[in-house]
A = this chain, B = another copy of it.
Amino acid sequence: MSVDEQRRPARVKRLPREVRERQILDAAVRVFSQHGYHNASMDEISDVAGVSKPMIYAYLGHKEDLFAACIRREASLLMDAIASGVRAESPPDMQLWHGLRAFFEFVASQRESWKVLHRQATSQGGPFSEELLAMRSRAINLVDALLVRSATSRGLGETATKATEALAAALVGAGESLADWWLDHPDVPEKVVASWLMNLVWMGLGDLVDGAVWTPTPEAAPE
């Protein structure tokens, strides 16, 4: 084989635009998750994607647009994963349990995705922080609605909106923090981590230090 043929071709094989966009997004998620928005370079994303920078600009726009597209895609995947895990007709503790399970399963299998979504969660300004806030608001609203339904179905007057919203924000924060902790302790099984969080937020520490434990109620379909 001649020297010329041994080199990477000067041009890559042509692909339909949507296929190439997906490849670029895959590369961008990887680089943004490793380095964060500011420290990631368009040159590096280009290298990882295997296309030139003008291609990226033509298809996905400027760096901010590219990052927003990443957030949008990964947030959608996460919300889909959670929504597919929860059944509306289950008791509230089991709904929360399944939501947490789906969340931690997503974190385990989509670590880069999670890093992009969460690492930039408190980043300053720009369209991507709005995307992240929107995603987080959806998560908080999901939990808020669950708490309100739980409280009203037990015959209690509707709890103040702010209280359940605040509790939902705290719960989402606990989940995020525990997910980060878990990435540093991957030896702990996913179900165990989800169970710890469930026990904390459902049972509470008061009951936990007394030795009481929450466990999932058996369901018809074994897991």
Contacts and interface: CB of A to CB of B under 8 A. Distances in A.
Contacts of A211: 154, 156
Contacts of A180: 122, 169, 173
A11 interface: no
Task: Bin chain A's interface residue count.
Answer: 35 or more
A125 B33 CA distance: 12
Given A124-B39, A173-B178, A206 B204 contact: yes
B150 A209 contact: yes
A134 interface: no
Interface stretch (A19-27, A43-51, A56-64, A192-200): A192-200
Interface in A139-195: 147, 150-151, 154, 156, 162-163, 165-167, 169-178, 180-182, 185, 188, 193
7 contacts: A169-B180, A170-B178, A170-B196, A174-B174, A201-B201, A202-B205, A204-B204
A25 B34 CA distance: 30
A31 B174 CA distance: 28
Given A118-B122, A119-B123, 16 more contacts: A36-B123, A39-B124, A93-B206, A120-B122, A121-B122, A154-B210, A162-B188, A163-B196, A166-B188, A166-B193, A170-B174, A170-B181, A170-B200, A174-B174, A199-B204, A203-B206
